[in-house]
């Protein structure tokens, strides 16, 4: 081994994922070195606090609070950015790439906000940016799209991309429990953060969907260009209503492209999925993603999408790719850093081009004629009612009215909801869910 090249790693961030990388890399190091034919060393580790107690033991001499120093250290070949946030992470990432280094990141918010700038810097200065851990944790989804499915164009990619939301929805359905109590239990178990909004309001999934849209289509879609809705207003009654219709409920990220019109849509929202579908049966903290290619057809990937070990697995996979790159030069699987020429010119689909079926739950005054007025509003907005479920409401003098529709579009349903909200007999904001006619 003494005659073999030494590859030095700078680890920026020693939180949950960073500690997982340190732990598992130490366990696997000898095997990785034998496989790759090089000595691989975590040379320095940047942390926010030198005195903080951690579950792993890192020699004090390796620790620093200066992450930029790792990015600029000429002796460090691979910068592993696991800091979280975007401002400091962006500075470290760009500094390293401008020096031609390889950067490995698990930071989906960083990529969503600054991906175009990051990949441009990598191309301009000869650096490389690897990000397998940013989407779906331990599922090798990014490698599948960039390498295994390179011969395909992707009409549709959709899936469960947030384990916290999937756990909450699973528990609500299985235990007939309200959202608030399940959320508190998820926090107690460590599945949800103390500030849960990034997960439950759909933004974490939106960041991941943005990355998948770029991988599949070479287009950066910002969250504000997407439909992004969370799970906070779903109730146990919605699961019962969905079950009576033959559906379960999942929070999905959905990326579609119409290759005839060259229009792309990216959406994040709770979706009714047929109970017999593969994704409807994925429970707990697991992720599941369906990828439809024009050559291979549909492939499905299921596994742990978050957590220390799953994410560390993906980070270490990227580290091994980075070592192979440094030792042997650029391989075909790094060509995903280039913008696919065929993707230039693709545009976002307008709301009237995003079509589907809908589930609308209304809390209305329990008196004659209300359903007729609701149906009139729906018809005025070119929405045809497919089924009606009426149940008592917890609000005195009210009823719960659940409508499903035939196919319509986002513009029409939004106009209908605005009119329904203005109706005096509607007691609270309607709940809108999409019905997922997604499986081939």
In three-state secondary structure terms, 125 is helix
DSSP symbols for 8-39: EEEEE--SHHHHHHHHHHHHHHHHHHHHHTSE
- C-alpha to C-alpha distances, 111 to 14, 156, 239, 378, 437, nearest whole angstrom: 20, 21, 34, 40, 30
* Residue found by looking up tokens 């209908």 in the block: 416
Instruction: Please name which of 302, 252, 250, 243 lies closest in space to residue 275, comparing C-alpha atoms.
Output: 243
- C-alpha to C-alpha distances, 390 to 244, 400, 422, nearest whole angstrom: 12, 6, 21
CB atoms < 10 A from the CB of 225, how many?
A: 16
Point out the catalytic residue in the list 101, 108, 143, 208. Answer: 208
β-pairing, 355-365 vs 398-405, is: antiparallel
Instruction: Please name which of 185, 223, 170, 182 lies closest in space to residue 201, comparing C-alpha atoms.
Output: 223
Report yes or no: 9 and 82 within 8 Å, Cβ to Cβ: no
Following CA atoms 275, 277, 280, 282 in sequence, which dihedral angle do they give, to the nearest 10 degrees? 130
Tokens of 376: 């009139």
Instruction: Please name which of 93, 97, 127, 121 lies closest in space to residue 109, comparing C-alpha atoms.
Output: 93
- Is 208 catalytic? The answer is yes
Where in the sequence numbering do the catalytic residues fall? 208
């Amino acid at each position: 081994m003494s005659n073999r090249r030494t590859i030095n790693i700078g680890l920026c961030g020693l939180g949950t994922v960073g500690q997982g990388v340190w732990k598992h890399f130490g366990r696997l190091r000898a095997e990785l070195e034998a496989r790759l034919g090089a000595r691989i060393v975590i040379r320095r580790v940047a942390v926010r606090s030198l005195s903080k107690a951690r579950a792993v033991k890192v020699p004090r001499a390796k620790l620093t609070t200066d992450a930029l120093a790792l990015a600029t250290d000429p002796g460090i070949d691979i910068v592993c950015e696991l800091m979280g946030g975007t401002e400091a992470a962006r500075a470290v990432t760009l500094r390293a790439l401008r020096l031609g280094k390889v950067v490995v990141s698990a930071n989906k918010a960083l990529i969503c906000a600054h991906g175009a700038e990051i990949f441009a810097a990598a191309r301009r200065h000869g650096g490389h940016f690897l990000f397998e851990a940013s989407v779906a944790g331990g599922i090798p989804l990014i490698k599948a799209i960039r390498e295994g499915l390179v011969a395909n164009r992707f009409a549709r990619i959709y899936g469960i991309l947030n384990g916290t939301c999937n756990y909450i929805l699973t528990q609500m359905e299985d235990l007939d429990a309200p959202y608030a109590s399940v959320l508190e239990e998820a926090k107690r178990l460590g599945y949800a953060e103390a500030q849960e909004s990034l997960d439950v309001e759909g933004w974490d999934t939106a960041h991941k969907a943005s990355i998948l849209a770029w991988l599949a289509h070479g287009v950066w879609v910002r969250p504000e260009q997407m439909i992004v809705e969370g799970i906070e207003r779903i109730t146990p009654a919605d699961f019962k209503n969905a079950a009576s219709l033959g559906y379960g409920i999942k929070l999905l990220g959905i990326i579609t492209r119409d290759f005839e019109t060259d229009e792309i849509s990216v959406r994040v929202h709770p979706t009714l999925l047929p109970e017999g579908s593969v994704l409807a049966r994925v429970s707990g903290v697991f992720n599941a993603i369906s990828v439809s290619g024009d050559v291979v057809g549909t492939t499905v990937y299921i596994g742990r999408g978050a957590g220390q070990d799953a994410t560390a697995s993906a980070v270490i996979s990227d580290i091994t790719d980075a070592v192979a790159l440094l030792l042997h030069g650029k391989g075909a699987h790094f060509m995903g850093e280039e913008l696919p020429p065929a993707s230039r010119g693709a545009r976002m689909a307008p709301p009237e081009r995003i079509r589907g079926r809908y589930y609308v739950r209304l809390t209305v005054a329990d008196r004659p004629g209300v359903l007729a007025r609701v149906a009139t509003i729906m018809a005025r907005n070119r929405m045809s009612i497919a089924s009606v479920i009426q149940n008592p409401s917890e609000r005195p003098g009210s009823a719960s009215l659940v409508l499903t529709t035939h196919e319509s579009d986002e513009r029409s349903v939004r106009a209908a909801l605005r009119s329904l909200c203005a109706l005096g007999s509607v007691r609270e904001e309607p709940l809108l869910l999409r019905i997922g006619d997604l499986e081939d």
